[in-house]
Structure 1
């Protein structure tokens, strides 16, 4: 057919939340039939449709070759079809209901974008979130079109012995021509972004789970042959997640089978497709020889996250992509709570806050700042961000803190019951919480609709004669792109009062009848509020934002109070936070002096804090490891109006050397005492001991004791200790690094996930020759730009994890990143767009560096046929 095509638009189009309209047509059922071939897969789709409102019957498509189109069994006339320049298909004069059948051809082996149906290692995989299904067949590819899917797969039995899709299996069969087929039926309606297909030569690690109602569920993790012995932790995490969701939220799995398939070529961490989760191998495969403690913890978190999506994301999904945090923020909150219940809640909270500050706070302060619920986008993939995920989870936690756990559980029950099998909005979630709790939560929508990180200050005074203590809190929210005027948001401040000896002071707010012991929550709702506490015997020390009760910056706490709280506070988060902020303040002062040419000194309080931490480490070694760490270079730079990465690095390295030198005796003693013997274990205590031991090693190596790291590398019985030692050696200026780096490469060259670590530790090295080494690694035989994990392991690790060399005065770090983005964009625009972010930091750099960063952004934007995602990121970074 000579299909009619629309003229292409001259520039990428912006999609706006205010323009949302319900779909003109709904799809009730979908029957898909695939004849799998790497070069030419045929996809036949039968869509039972019905009119929902005014408008044309338009189906999204991208890169599809249309072979047939039939309406109610009759071939469509040419004048009733129109192919748009964007790949869409519009059916003219469509009836109010009917069955549309299309046959298309696609080429999975040429799909380097890894969106839609693609091949990896000879197998077939899909990734359809957010808009990948349109690369498979024509469909109204939006989350508020929910349909029941039946899928039949045909493939060569020798090449594809395994044929998987969503839902429950519904028959298989062989054919005389060497092919076979399998049918899958999903009884639950779902949007197209949750469709999944996996086919190829895979093997399953199997287990079973019996739900609380007695349903027997088959559990399968599908991996490449040879990886079967690396799935035990993932399976254990899945089973614990299923049990936890039943016990904590009353949510039971609803199919007969739960499949996970692992693939090394994957843009994301994992995908929650109904009944068939597709995972990056990074978040499935682990054994002590190849995976670190962090890898084990990451697997637990991501397995739980994708499983929890079964209800918060699948059974209840988002109406449009602006509501993305409805599923992602809520599910991150749920996976954080799950992980906190598996180990130390305090340490989990500290690590989550570290991650929030490292990724989301800078996003809030930069050119890509956007609300948890954005107002517009050019490429939706660009809004899979720390703001939508991590800050979205913090907003859910705000509501949980405000109404309490019992009311939150009632709200979840109501939300699921009311919204099951529907595509809904953030307002629906907040309304359920409000109704279940009886608390007006309307003001919390400000957290969803305003970008930026609120800043809090606190003042207090003690009125001895009246025995009253008055706390005055103030909040402000800096302007962000497109939002110059801000309004106060509700900030739950969990707090307690300590006396001069560090004991908790029972508190009674004005108007209350009885004093309350322990932590209480006061709600700051205005730009400024005062809270009056009665019957206070003496001036207390306030402990604010316990458990990090709100995603804000608390500024202006006096150093002497920070030192007191770091020693005495009964809340572990505030104790850690106070030590961190004290050290950060000290480092900022040293940076300022260093820039003035002053010699670098040392604060004896740091030595005292380290010795105190090690003395008390046995009670909670994981917490001690966190408390021992100096603030990161990025965290300190973020406190500066104009960042000076080289000066921050110089100060931090000086302090690390001095601590290692001054505290060498207790650090060596602790290092030896924490030596591990026996079988590797991944319980919280064992992980904490390894973390503390390696923290001690890092200070000793900083003071010049590289021999300890060399010995640990040789003798390590697990990847956690081996990689910790190698990372320290890789950053050392001497020759001790060469042998271990060569040995590690030779030993693990055949394991992609382990080799990613080899690339990353060199990319983040602060050695003088690091830039040349990174360039050389980019040309290394084992570097593959087409593999997202490998690209992130080198390019992403350098740009985000090596501020010293990324921000070189000659601009070479910026040129390297821009070169990589330009090379990657035509291969995989989604990954290229995510790499642009560090160049957007130019506003906070000195004028010379800022000009160099802008130049590289302009060079990226000048590339012909730039992908929508990279165009959006680069243009916003320059705006």
Structure 2
């Protein structure tokens, strides 16, 4: 399906399948050029839809035989569906034989080869590229899989479940048979065959059962698997302790592959991972890599229950498994962080990602509800809305019922639905039913608007203090802007966690009007109407108006509109007990200055109050280094752009870039001595450890180094650039080596070229390091078009492999999504390059191309001449006749009125 328009699939049109497939016996004769697939199924007609033909999905496969109850039957094709008619009214056996060509599968969906091994990726609709099937998530079957292959070329043969038999065959071949005892949809099928090595570890569950954990990688990468294995063990232990969910197979396997469209895949018992989220050692991986591996390993393991044991009825319910499992992996990472400050840093990082990635999605042409109503290509809906916003919806449920109440709800969810394919409504109902009388249960119908309405609610807040009456009234109002297809929105149920500080920053005890006593220093207000007022009483004897600390912990995925004074923001920055709101205050203080400079058209000039506040944060002995790093990092260029767009100001990316670079430069100069202290006090951490304290110290040291090298560009002092280059040469871990390289690239120092050459020479055989080497160059701050010209050179580098998703993303995604000042050029060269690369990649990997295409979906908010030039580039791609449905949907929605 590479031409024409795609069929629009609508949630309201869901019907159960005409038949159920109860068991599947698959046999593979694996060959890169021509793999034979034999599928023997037990099929049962759906008694609610009698007499219907059986329509099986298939794509890019060659059919050779169809047998019903052992007899050949006639068939026909409708598009890419195999249609079987006049079938028995009682259960019957169905055998299908077909072939596929894994080595030609450049889309990396279905069965494909990478590095001489076989891998699969079946979510969302890849199984149909392996054999004809009812390729939909509500058809759950028991699978038995036999793999046959050349023993020398493919010594390891893996599939879902438990291995029950293996042995040798004639002509140097061997086989392995796997049985999955749990019913699953086809999207969770997996096989792997190749020359792989593995790290093994046995663990014992609380029930006393032993389980084998395995991490498979190519030879030479085994030394990089310890952290992934430790993360897997921690995930198994945590899920038992937190949710009472045990591993339900004899073994659990992770396999790493370098050619993979996604981060990882939760196939039952056989998780297939992008190498990026498995391989790590101090010499080649950063602190961020270590954290991401822990989170992604946890995420995919947690899917074993939230996604596998209970799965989605249809793809509109994708957030049923993804939003819930993102919430679980976020909670896991916070628990692994341990201390309160490290937990807070993790929460802030998640909030930052949501606001920088999902909020723009909600404000653009790709806006869709957490549970979409329609799609053309389901692969396009693996979005931050479904994942990260979906996780926030689950988090709000947990807030409204409490930690113990949420556990009760999860227990009820599994008791009701284990082994079923269900909906988001089923999940919400279980949480509410387990907590009768809770804020969720009494508002469930209204709360579920989070699933059905797109857009980010805007909550305006104001406060009034009456010293005579000792009251402080908080008035909250909500409004959600129109989104495509949804011009009018009903009010959401929004939990707003808050506290009050006195004028000196001390927390106040809170008592709502009508309550008989104080209830601590924090309260969760439930905003469920368009406007509501909440009155706090007993606030006598204050020397000034209380300072509200609103939306603590980012208790809801909303935009808070509060006309805070600078004095209030400084109070929150220095004194608030809620770390998320301290960070938010720092962001708002920086944002006010950046937006002011851009809107006025005048160069940014930082004031003494802001500089003194930054110094106070940097020198504060009570703050952890990781938290300081967050407070001292100014708002991203993308976030500034979104705030300007929300205010109705046309977005000029180079102007935003100039203002942010001016902020960095002035802070580098004004705080020079403080940055020297920060670097010297934090840069030496001894032997590498990826724990939160060590990670935070490295982050702050590298932030300081970046400012010191940047200031050297002004002063001409060679000392700090020289120290950065030395650090590239002899750093004891890649986090510090990368930090030094970023400092040199960020300052456009001449030593950056020598540093790049040294890193490439030292790590040229480490694919993930070279991915990062490309990405650092593509993401460097633009100066006079130098970065864009470098990128155009990089795509011709001998090591740039556009067909490898990781390598392609390292340059193209970095430019199109993360480096706006390099992409948005007055001469439109960035948009021409975007169009060329989207079309090029679409020819062999539509999923990757569609994600690249989203780099221009916010073109309407741009100022001229960028707006018109971006529109022209989109129209040029849309005019292509040879364009995949995936990319055509993205471009079409971007252009739609």
Deviations 1:235-257 (A, max 9, x none): 00000011000000000000000
Alpha-carbon contact 1:732-1:767 (below 8 Å) kept: no
Distance in structure 2 (CA, Å) of the matches to 1:389 and 1:161? 37
Q: Secondary structure at the match of 2:167?
A: strand
Q: Secondary structure at the match of 2:667?
A: helix
Match of 1:4 in 2: none
Match of 2:591 in 1: 584
Alpha-carbon contact 2:462-2:562 (below 8 Å) kept: no
Match of 2:524 in 1: 521
Give 1:610 deviation, angstroms.
2.0
Match of 2:734 in 1: 719
* 2:783 counterpart (754, 767, 789): 767
Give 1:617 deviation, angstroms.
4.7
Alpha-carbon contact 1:394-1:551 (below 8 Å) kept: yes
Deviations 1:614-663 (A, max 9, x none): 22256411111111111111111111131111111111111111111111
Distance in structure 1 (CA, Å) of the matches to 2:678 and 2:636? 23
Match of 1:749 in 2: 764
Match of 2:483 in 1: 480
Distance in structure 1 (CA, Å) of the matches to 2:325 and 2:87? 42
Deviations 1:678-705 (A, max 9, x none): 2101111000100111111122122124
Which blocks of at least 5 consecutive residues in structure 2 are unaligned? 713-719
Give 1:94 deviation, angstroms.
4.6
RMSD (CA atoms): 1.3
Distance in structure 2 (CA, Å) of the matches to 1:8 and 1:110? 16
Match of 1:851 in 2: 868
- The worse-fitting range, judged by mean Cα deviation, of 733-742 and 64-73 is 733-742
Distance in structure 2 (CA, Å) of the matches to 1:605 and 1:636? 21
Distance in structure 2 (CA, Å) of the matches to 1:615 and 1:772? 40
Match of 1:863 in 2: 880
Alpha-carbon contact 1:671-1:693 (below 8 Å) kept: yes
* 1:669 counterpart (662, 677, 688): 677
Match of 1:3 in 2: none
Match of 1:370 in 2: 368
Alpha-carbon contact 1:8-1:86 (below 8 Å) kept: no
Give 1:708 deviation, angstroms.
3.3
Distance in structure 1 (CA, Å) of the matches to 2:527 and 2:206? 42
Give 1:176 deviation, angstroms.
2.8
Alpha-carbon contact 1:506-1:517 (below 8 Å) kept: yes
Residue 360 (1) aligns with residue 358 (2): yes
Distance in structure 2 (CA, Å) of the matches to 1:9 and 1:871? 9
Give 1:416 deviation, angstroms.
0.8
* 1:541 counterpart (544, 547, 550): 547
Alpha-carbon contact 1:731-1:767 (below 8 Å) kept: no
- The worse-fitting range, judged by mean Cα deviation, of 168-177 and 671-680 is 671-680
Distance in structure 2 (CA, Å) of the matches to 1:684 and 1:206? 27
Deviations 1:63-95 (A, max 9, x none): 11011110000111x3xx112222434344453
- The worse-fitting range, judged by mean Cα deviation, of 852-861 and 310-319 is 852-861
Deviations 1:237-282 (A, max 9, x none): 0000110000000000000000110000000000000000000000
Alpha-carbon contact 1:61-1:89 (below 8 Å) kept: no
Which blocks of at least 5 consecutive residues in structure 1 are unaligned? 1-6
Aligned pair in 2 of structure 1 residues 773, 92: CA closer, same or farther (>3 Å)?
farther
Q: Secondary structure at the match of 1:847?
A: coil
Q: Secondary structure at the match of 1:152?
A: strand
Distance in structure 2 (CA, Å) of the matches to 1:203 and 1:25? 41
Give 1:289 deviation, angstroms.
0.4
Deviations 1:193-230 (A, max 9, x none): 00000001001111111111011000110100000000
Match of 2:632 in 1: 628
Equivalenced residue count is: 867
Spell out structure 1 runs of 4+ moving beyond 4 A.
7-10
Deviations 1:348-388 (A, max 9, x none): 01000111111101101111010000000000000000000
Residue 575 (1) aligns with residue 573 (2): no
Q: Secondary structure at the match of 1:188?
A: strand
* 1:45 counterpart (30, 39, 53): 39
Match of 1:135 in 2: 129
Distance in structure 2 (CA, Å) of the matches to 1:409 and 1:677? 39
Match of 1:809 in 2: 826
Distance in structure 2 (CA, Å) of the matches to 1:851 and 1:96? 61
Match of 1:196 in 2: 190
* 1:437 counterpart (423, 428, 435): 435
Match of 1:709 in 2: 724
Distance in structure 1 (CA, Å) of the matches to 2:142 and 2:793? 51
* 1:800 counterpart (817, 824, 829): 817
Match of 2:76 in 1: 82
Give 1:513 deviation, angstroms.
1.0
Match of 2:716 in 1: none
Aligned pair in 2 of structure 1 residues 377, 313: CA closer, same or farther (>3 Å)?
same
Distance in structure 2 (CA, Å) of the matches to 1:646 and 1:61? 47
Alpha-carbon contact 1:234-1:299 (below 8 Å) kept: yes
Residue 566 (1) aligns with residue 573 (2): yes
Q: Secondary structure at the match of 1:29?
A: strand
Match of 1:637 in 2: 641
